[in-house]
């Protein structure tokens, strides 16, 4: 290196100057910092450049996290006699409905305690959740390691889904309204009032057109309606269907005992095809809605690249022009779609991502760079906004994420998608985005 004023020049490339930890190649009007210098002149990949500068392979740091409980279904009894008797005689559920669920393996009897076991499966049919309910007394508990996102549910191909607090309510509702043709419909039991099970169902079935909320007819059930409305996509129609008693099983038991004959004839005999519903909307309240931390479900942080880029949150990559922000985005795309992992990045299965850019041409710049980074182009998607400019408040972004199961969205640059009426220097205008 030759000192030239406040800069240094490299003999091998006289058009290159270095000042501090920045370099600039005047002949090509580009520059950057040490990592891009090594990649440019020593033909190294991003991980190789980091390793060369450190003089050793980066240490892989691990964070001790609470061990997840392994999920196992309770041992099945040799028969289901006690559970079938409980559901039919105590809960009043129609025999044909009970036996259909037993036959499908969604309901069975536990061998040791003879509890009712209600099974939830993921989209591949693998059991991920189980809830045990005593056939005597009030015992009920989720099996250790259960994933509430895969709660007790049934998908019958319908574009309409009915949502309940419990599996018992779900089977009671089926018994009341269409016990002989229930398999044509779709149903989800939340296992309480949390939205996780419905959120997962709608992610697995984004073509759902209507959600009918059938939570309990009490204060908790109404609060659940408001919670569910926040996670249901705007393009889906939402209806509210209330039981006449506190819940659907109480309605069913009243009807089976003959106590409900004075208010059920219309509902049962004449409304089989169209269940009376009302438009769901969150009621305005005079009090400030509060969240009690003791009721907040503790969750684990999931990382794309620990400790810098978490899943499910906004990450901003800041830097001056020419410092490699877009280059890094290309490397990240390759890591997510084709296992070209960054240093210290945990291995994961490749997934779809959305790469939205307003500065570079897709054919002459973006695609060549992605190919150079060795990204899987089949997994890199771009929202076509040629007819209507895209903004961060555009509903197409949410729809594209759900429809394509994208786990990463890159916006480059951010300010290009704020919208014509948003001033990025005014915090109050950016907050809604």
Q: What angle do CA 290, 294, 300 make, to 5 degrees?
A: 105
Torsion of CA 178, 211, 91, 114, to 10 degrees: 120
The whole-angstrom separation of Cα 350 and Cα 67 is 24
The whole-angstrom separation of Cα 251 and Cα 264 is 9
CA 167 from centre of chain: 22
Question: For the segment 385-419, what is each residue's pLDDT rounded down to a tens digit?
Answer: 888 888 888 889 999 999 999 999 999 888 788 76
Is the pTM here over 0.75, yes or no? no
Burial (CB count within 10 angstroms: exposed 0-12, middle 13-18, buried 19+), residue 15: exposed
Say how many residues make up the chain: 433
Q: Before 247, cis peptide (omega within 30)?
A: no
DSSP string for 185-239? SEEEE-SSS-SHHHHHHHHH-TT--EEEE---SSHHHHHHHHHHHHHS-TTSEEE
* pLDDT band (50, 70, 90) for residue 142: very high
* pLDDT band (50, 70, 90) for residue 272: very low
Token pair 């209806």 is found at 239
Inter-residue contact 140 to 134 (CB < 8 Å): yes
* Average pLDDT of the chain, as a whole number: 84
Least confident of 60-69, 194-203, 215-224, 355-364: 60-69
Least confident of 44-53, 57-66, 333-342: 57-66
Which pLDDT score is estimated for 353?
A: 95
Interval 336-355 mean pLDDT: 93
* pLDDT band (50, 70, 90) for residue 273: very low
Q: Percentage of the chain with pLDDT > 90?
A: 51
Which pLDDT score is estimated for 284?
A: 43
Which pLDDT score is estimated for 279?
A: 43
Token pair 């509702």 is found at 173
Q: Residue 133 above 80 pLDDT? A: yes
Q: Residue 15 above 90 pLDDT? A: no
Residue of 195, 154, 158 lying closest to 171 (CA atoms): 154
Which pLDDT score is estimated for 278?
A: 39
Q: Percentage of the chain with pLDDT > 70?
A: 85
Least confident of 64-68, 114-118, 272-276, 320-324: 272-276
The whole-angstrom separation of Cα 338 and Cα 183 is 40
In the chain, what are the domains? 81-282 (3.40.1360.10), 300-433 (3.40.50.300)
């Amino acid at each position: 290196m030759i000192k030239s004023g406040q800069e240094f020049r490299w003999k091998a490339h006289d058009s290159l100057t270095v000042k501090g930890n920045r370099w600039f190649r005047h002949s090509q009007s580009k520059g950057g910092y040490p990592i891009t210098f090594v990649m440019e002149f020593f033909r190294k990949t991003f991980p190789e450049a980091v390793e060369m500068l450190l003089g050793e392979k980066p240490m892989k740091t691990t964070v001790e996290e609470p061990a997840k409980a392994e999920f196992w279904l309770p041992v099945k009894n040799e028969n289901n006699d006690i559970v079938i008797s409980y559901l039919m005689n105590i809960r009043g559920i129609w025999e044909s409905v009970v036996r259909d669920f037993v036959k499908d393996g969604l309901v069975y009897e536990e061998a040791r305690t003879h509890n009712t076991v209600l099974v939830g499966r993921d989209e591949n049919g693998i059991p991920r959740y189980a809830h045990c309910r005593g056939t005597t007394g009030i015992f009920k508990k989720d099996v250790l390691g259960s994933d509430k996102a895969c709660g007790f549910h049934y998908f019958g191909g319908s574009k309409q889904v009915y949502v309940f607090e419990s599996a018992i309510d779900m089977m009671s509702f089926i018994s009341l309204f269409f016990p002989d043709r229930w398999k044509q419909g779709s149903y989800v039991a939340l296992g309480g009032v949390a939205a996780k099970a419905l959120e997962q169902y709608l992610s697995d079935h984004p073509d759902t057109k209507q959600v009918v909320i059938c939570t309990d007819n009490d204060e908790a059930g109404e609060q659940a309606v408001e919670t569910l409305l926040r996670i249901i996509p705007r393009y889906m129609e939402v209806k509210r269907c209330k039981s006449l008693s506190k819940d659907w099983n109480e309605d069913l038991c009243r009807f089976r005992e003959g106590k409900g004959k004075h208010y059920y004839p219309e509902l049962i005999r004449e409304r089989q095809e169209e269940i009376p519903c009302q438009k769901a909307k969150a009621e305005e309240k005079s009090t400030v809605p509060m969240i009690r931390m003791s009721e907040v479900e503790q969750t684990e942080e999931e990382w794309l690249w620990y400790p810098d880029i978490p899943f499910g949150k906004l990450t901003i990559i800041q830097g001056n022009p020419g410092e490699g922000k877009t280059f890094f985005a290309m490397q990240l795309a390759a890591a997510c779609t084709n296992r070209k992992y960054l240093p210290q990045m945990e291995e994961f299965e490749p997934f779809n991502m959305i790469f939205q850019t307003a500065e570079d041409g897709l054919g002459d710049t973006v695609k060549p760079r992605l190919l150079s980074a060795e990204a899987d182009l089949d997994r890199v998607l771009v929202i076509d906004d040629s007819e209507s400019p895209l903004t961060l408040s555009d509903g197409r972004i949410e729809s594209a994420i759900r429809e394509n199961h994208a786990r990463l969205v890159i916006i480059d640059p951010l300010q290009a998608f704020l919208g014509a009426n948003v001033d990025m220097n005014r915090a109050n205008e950016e907050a809604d985005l």
